[in-house]
Chains A and B, each alone.
Chain A
Amino acid sequence: MPFQAELRKSLALALLLPALVLLGWEAGVRLAVLDPIFFPPPSTLIRTALRLSASGDLPRATAATLTRALLGFLPGALVGIALGIALGVSVICRRMLEPSMAGFYSMPKLALLPIFMLILGAGETARLALIALGTMLAMTIHVFDGVRAIDVGYVEMARNYGATPWMLLRKVHLPGALPQIFTGTRVTFGRALVISISVELVTGSPGLGNMIWLASQTFSTERLYVRVWLRSGCWGC
C-alpha cells in the first residue's frame, strides 16, 4: 500500500526532530550538563504527565481551556467570515472598515482585557468576548484575502448570466473563498487557544494557563513543562 508507506515515512520524519531533542535533553541531565531543577528530564516529565492525568487535574484543565477557546472562537469566526466577505465584495465596506481593522488587528488583545472586565464584569463573559474579538479580526483578514483573490472574471461571468447578489455570494464568493476560510479556521483557532491561555495566566481562571502559572510559582518545573507541551500539542493539530 503505497499511501500508507508514504504516511509512515512522513510521520517518521515529523517525529525525528522532537525525538532527537528529547534524547539530547535526557542525556544532558544524565551527564549532569543540564540542571534538573530547570530542565527536569523527559522521563520524569512523562511520569508527571501520567500522574496529573490520573488525578484528573490535567484533563479537567485541558477541557476548560478548550471549551473556553471554542466558545469564544465560534461566534468570532462566524462574524469574521461575514465581515471578510462584506469587505471583499463591497468597496464602500472596504474603504470604511479596512483602516480600522488593520489598526485593531495589530493591537495586543490582552491589553483590552481590563476594559472588557470593567464593562462586562470579571466573569467568563469578558474572557469569551476577548477571544471572540481576537478570532473575529484574524478571520476577517483571512476571508477578505480569499474573496479578493477570486478572479474578477468569475464574478463578471455570473453577472453576465444575470446572477442576483445572493446567487453571486452563494455560487462564486463563498466557494471561491473556501480554501482561505479553511486556513483561516486553522490559524485562528490557534490564536483563540493562545488568547484563552493568556487570559487564564492573567486572571487565574481554571485551565491550562492557570496550571502553568501555579506550577511556575511553586517551582515545580516538571509540571510547567507538561502543560506547555500539552498546549503546543493542542495548537499543533
Chain B
Amino acid sequence: MRCEGLGVSFASGAQRTHALHELTFATHPGEFLSIVGPSGCGKTTLLRVLAGFIQPECGIVERPEGRRTILIRQEGSVFPWLNVLENATFGLEMMGVGRGERERRARPYLERFGLAGREKDYPAQLSVGMKQRVAVIQALLADPELLLMDEPLAGLDSQTRWAVHGELLELWEQQGHRTIVLVTHDVDEALLLSDRVLVLSRQPGRVVGEVEVSLPRPRGMSDLLTPETLALKRRILTHLGFAMKELALAFPSGA
C-alpha cells in the first residue's frame, strides 16, 4: 500500500477544515505500521481514505489489487442485531461462504479470544472488550491483505488490552502475509506492536517523523523498560512534541 500527496478537507459552513495535507507514506508487505499523533490530527480520516470510504481531493492511494482492505473502527464494529457468532462470521457471510464452513472457521478464533460459549450472546450482553474482540475476529476471518485499525482497543482496560495484543501479534506472526496499519495515541502500544512508527502532525495531518522499531520479537511489557526501547520512545515523543508545538503555535496562549 502506498499513498502520496494525500489531501482531504471538509466544508463546515463557510469554513474549510483541512484534515490531511500532502501526506505521503508507504507500507512494506507484511509490515506492522503504527501511526501516532495528537488527537484531531486526522488519523481517523486517513484510515477512512485508505479503506476507500472517502475519496481524497488530491493525491493517490495504491492498494494491492483485488485484495481486501478491512477497517476495524474504534467502536460500533459489531452489529447490535447479530449475536457473537453471526457478528464474527459477518464478513465471511458477505463474501458468500456457507454457514457450516463459516462456523468451522470461526470456532478456533472464538476459543483463542476467550469467546467460546458466548456464541449466542448479543453485543448488549458483552463488555466493551469482548465486543472489540468480536470485531477483530470478524476482520481476521475475512483474511484481509491490509488490516486498518482505528484504536480498536481504546475502550479496554490495560490487562485485557495486553492480552488481546498478545493474541493479535501471535496470529499476525503465524500468518505473516498481512499488512497492519494501526492508529493509536499510545506510544507504548505502538512500540510493543509495530515494526515502524509514523508520527503525524496536528491538523492538517502530515508525517513529521518516522521511527524504525527494530526490537526483537516476541516483545513483552518488560521490554518497554530496556534502554533501546526508551531511546526509541524518546525519539517518538520528540517528534510528538514537535507536533504539539505546532499546536501551540496554532492556538496562541490564552486561546
Chain A bound to chain B: yes
Please list the residues of chain A having a beta carbon within 8 angstroms of any beta carbon in chain B.
151, 153-154, 156-158, 160-163, 167, 171-172, 175-176, 178
Asked if A157 and B77 sit within 8 Å, CB to CB, the answer is yes
Does more than half of chain A's interface fall in helix, strand or loop, or is it mixed?
helix
Given A151-B76, A154-B76, A171-B93, A160-B81 contact (CB < 8 Å): no
Contact indicator per residue, chain B 43-55, by CB within 8 Å of chain A (1) or not (0)? 0000000010100
Please name the residue on chain B nearest to A152 by beta carbon.
B53
Please name the residue on chain A nearest to B135 by beta carbon.
A157
Chain B nearest CB from A76 CB (Å) reads 26
Please name the residue on chain A nearest to B69 by beta carbon.
A160
Asked if A171 and B76 sit within 8 Å, CB to CB, the answer is no
**Of the candidates A157, A161, A163, A175, which one forms a contact with B81 in the assembled complex, judged by CB atoms under 8 Å apart?**
A175
Chain B nearest CB from A31 CB (Å) reads 55
Q: Is B94 an interface residue (CB 8 A)?
A: yes
A-B interface pairs (CB < 8 A), number: 43
13 contacting pairs across A/B (C-beta < 8 A): A153-B73, A153-B77, A156-B51, A157-B77, A160-B68, A160-B69, A161-B91, A161-B142, A162-B94, A167-B94, A171-B94, A175-B81, A178-B81
Chain B nearest CB from A178 CB (Å) reads 7
Q: Give the number of residues in B that approach A within 8 Å (Cβ atoms).
A: 18
Chain A nearest CB from B44 CB (Å) reads 11
Asked if A160 and B51 sit within 8 Å, CB to CB, the answer is yes
Asked if A162 and B76 sit within 8 Å, CB to CB, the answer is no
Query: Which residues B53-111 have CB closer than 8 A to chain A?
Result: 53, 68-71, 73, 76-77, 79, 81-82, 90-91, 93-95
Please name the residue on chain B nearest to A163 by beta carbon.
B94
Additional A-B contacts beyond A161-B91, A163-B94 (11; CB < 8 A): A151-B76, A154-B76, A157-B73, A160-B51, A160-B70, A161-B90, A161-B95, A171-B94, A172-B79, A175-B81, A175-B82
Chain A nearest CB from B194 CB (Å) reads 23
Chain A nearest CB from B99 CB (Å) reads 14
Residues of B with C-beta under 8 A to A163: 94
Residues of A with C-beta under 8 A to B142: 161
Query: Which residues B15-36 have CB closer than 8 A to chain A?
Result: none
Residues of A with C-beta under 8 A to B69: 160
Asked if A158 and B76 sit within 8 Å, CB to CB, the answer is no
Please name the residue on chain B nearest to A160 by beta carbon.
B70
In angstroms, Cα B76 to Cα A60, docked, is 52
Given A151-B76, A178-B81, A158-B94 contact (CB < 8 Å): yes
Chain A nearest CB from B241 CB (Å) reads 33
Chain A nearest CB from B148 CB (Å) reads 10
Asked if A153 and B76 sit within 8 Å, CB to CB, the answer is yes
Please name the residue on chain B nearest to A179 by beta carbon.
B81
Residues of B with C-beta under 8 A to A153: 73, 76-77
Chain A nearest CB from B82 CB (Å) reads 8
Residues of A with C-beta under 8 A to B94: 158, 161-163, 167, 171
In angstroms, Cα B69 to Cα A167, docked, is 19
**Of the candidates B53, B68, B70, B79, which one forms a contact with A154 in the assembled complex, judged by CB atoms under 8 Å apart?**
B79
